[in-house]
Amino acid sequence: MQKIPHTPTPNAGAMRGMNALASTAREPTAPTAAPVSPDTARLRHFVQQLAALVESAPPEPELLERGGALLGALVAHDDWLPAAYAQPSPERYQQFLLHADALGRFSVVSFVWGPGQATPIHDHTVWGLIGMLRGAEDSQAYARTADGRWAPAGAPHRLQPGQVEAVSPTIGDVHRVSNAVDGQTSISIHVYGANIGAVQRSVYLEDGTRKPFISGYSNSTLPNIWDLSRNPAPSA
Ligand SMILES: [Fe+2]
């Protein structure tokens, strides 16, 4: 697991590896705030920029750095996520697919936490970027011990709105994440180097037990980010 170099850009959120990095969060928005008129052009712009970045096939550290800056710019504003993809469920945390690359090179999801919800210890198997949009979440990295168990690695850290962190098998891929805001919904935007809902992954118990899983998605329709007549360009 390693820290990722980060040069802040004027319109980008701060970047973190799974190990905490010094960063500056934007002002939090009310966890229950819903955009009045979703500016979905922001998501389209992000998808277009990310597709171009992935197409250029940079080394992973550069991909995470540049992709993290793009995601930071996206989560620097909380006015673009349609309400349908921001709804918590009392049953479990929700993972809404927002966009899937036609060639399976990346996917973008909104991860919606209800109050008190948390993941099990899990891996991703591919690179991932997590940008905090609304509320906050806590992430605890885990490392395998010599006897095959999983133990917390380092201190947990809190992701605040506007901040971005990265995971991957090369920098640290196993963690447990939870909603950090009591009694309220939190939302983070995730980007992964695959169609993440179809990826064979694992959850772990601290005793070392491994359980394979494929997450799927919580939604059956996607936001229409391609109607240029309605929303021609991202606003500032
Ligand atoms: Fe995760």
Q: Which residue has the higher pLDDT, 26 or 81?
A: 81
> How many residues does this entry show for the chain?
236
Percent of the chain at pLDDT > 70 equals 82
- Using an 8 Å Cβ cutoff, are 129 and 71 in contact? yes
Q: Is residue 224 part of a domain?
A: no
233 CA → ligand 1 middle, Å: 31
- Using an 8 Å Cβ cutoff, are 188 and 129 in contact? no
110-131 pLDDT tens trace: 999 999 999 999 999 999 999 9
Alpha helix positions (H), 56-137 = 60-75
Q: Is residue 18 part of a domain?
A: no
In angstroms, the CA 138 to CA 118 distance is 9
175 CA → ligand 1 middle, Å: 6
Q: Is residue 119 part of a domain?
A: yes
Q: Which residue has the higher pLDDT, 66 or 14?
A: 66
99 CA → ligand 1 middle, Å: 18
In angstroms, the CA 139 to CA 184 distance is 17
235 CA → ligand 1 middle, Å: 30
159-176 pLDDT tens trace: 999 999 999 999 999 999
- Using an 8 Å Cβ cutoff, are 108 and 169 in contact? no
For position 73, which CATH number holds?
Answer: 2.60.120.10
Q: What is the number of structural domains in the chain?
A: 1
- Using an 8 Å Cβ cutoff, are 43 and 80 in contact? yes
The residue range of the domain holding 48 is 2-12+39-213
User: 29: pLDDT confidence band, cut at 50, 70 and 90?
Assistant: low
60 CA → ligand 1 middle, Å: 18
- Give the pairing of strands 15-16 and 164-167: parallel
Q: Is residue 184 part of a domain?
A: yes
111 CA → ligand 1 middle, Å: 10
**Residue entry with tokens 């991957």:** 168
In angstroms, the CA 149 to CA 139 distance is 19
Q: Is residue 130 part of a domain?
A: yes
Average predicted confidence (pLDDT) for the chain: 88
Task: Quote the pTM value.
Answer: 0.86
In sequence order, the 6+-apart residues with CB closer than 8 A to the CB of 134 are 28, 29, 31, 33, 78, 86, 161, 185, 186, 187
In angstroms, the CA 73 to CA 77 distance is 7
14 CA → ligand 1 middle, Å: 18
Q: Is residue 25 part of a domain?
A: no
Output the six-digit token pair for 96. 């809404």
Q: Which residue has the higher pLDDT, 21 or 224?
A: 224
112 CA → ligand 1 middle, Å: 13
On the question of pLDDT at 58 being above 80, the answer is yes
